[in-house]
Structure 1
């Protein structure tokens, strides 16, 4: 009887910890409610998507080369994205990893250079270093559609803030050749979650 009770107790603790784990990863004050927006897979040029593995297989420095997920548009509330990326191969450089799109096009684009520098495509400011091949990096973006504030966190630290207008926005992630970049590159994403309040 005691062994059966211990097994049940261990199972309950495991379930509670598993359920609580993702909530601890949320940045900024809640309460947050998790949700699962729909998405479309975008594969253009030499871009291929296999689950959460995104590849650019060519070194072409022109044209639309992308392998991404494009999530459903939102236009109200405060939205949070979280995901972990790990570059497994990157002979190329200046590849966009995470984007927030607005009604007028790209609102925020996070990209990486060969060597591991993470930067904001518009403006070029460095957000972090160390995003080298094989290293897992956590990305959170928080977007308040009410006042337009958008913040980007790298490994839990706020590294970029900007403001914008109103309208419909959406999240994208994967691997996308920026206008000054080129592949090849392979990026694996994991732990992707969305919250709102």
Structure 2
């Protein structure tokens, strides 16, 4: 191998050795980044194109979803980070980020949704989490789930919601999903998707 190539490789290796471990946007670490596998879910009038999620109809019934469903995990503390921007919203009450239980007690555990007008809220209980999620505005979401303890939701870096957690298996989802009282159409673009664990 030429000396110049060896020198470049050595310099790159030295920089990597000096690089700090991945740091999450919220809460103290140390955090370890990882990349869970996912599947794409398109049902009803849902359409997924990379990180653009659309509900193309105004149907107020049935299963209307365009999402990514990530691999199930059990135990420890997991952090999700992603930013969304609603580019059009003719509907309302659309779930954007979800944490689901898996296994024998499978079902929704935490769902972050948005109403027309920009109110972000917890679907279960209806608690307002934040405002300002209007068309064209980018909003960063972090969820920190200490399984068996608590699930915390941060909006743009500020803690806005906490709910207790039981032990078990869970998985993350995001995209656009019609809630029981919602309807499309809507287009949501996600970006900056990252995961950490500790």
Per the normalisation by structure 1, the TM-score is 0.87
State how far apart, in whole Å, the 1-side matches of 2:134 and 2:170 are. 29
State the shift of 1:166 in Å.
1.4
Partner of 1:72: 71
State how far apart, in whole Å, the 2-side matches of 1:35 and 1:24 are. 12
- Deviations along 1:20-58, whole A, 9 cap, x unmatched? 7x9555200100000000000000000000000000000
Quickly say closer, same or farther: Cα 1:168–1:25, change in 2 above 3 A: closer
Report if the CA contact (8 A) 2:101-2:170 is conserved. yes
Partner of 1:59: 58
Partner of 2:91: 92
State how far apart, in whole Å, the 1-side matches of 2:180 and 2:70 are. 22
Partner of 2:3: none
State how far apart, in whole Å, the 2-side matches of 1:72 and 1:110 are. 19
State how far apart, in whole Å, the 1-side matches of 2:118 and 2:34 are. 31
State how far apart, in whole Å, the 2-side matches of 1:178 and 1:58 are. 14
- Asked if 1:149 corresponds to 2:150, the answer is yes
Partner of 1:27: 26
Per the normalisation by structure 2, the TM-score is 0.87
Partner of 1:176: 177
Q: Secondary structure at 2:72's aligned position in 1? A: coil
- Asked if 1:195 corresponds to 2:196, the answer is yes
Report if the CA contact (8 A) 2:92-2:114 is conserved. yes
Report if the CA contact (8 A) 2:146-2:165 is conserved. no
Q: Using the TM superposition, name which of 34-43 and 23-32 deviates more.
A: 23-32
Name the count of aligned residue pairs.
181
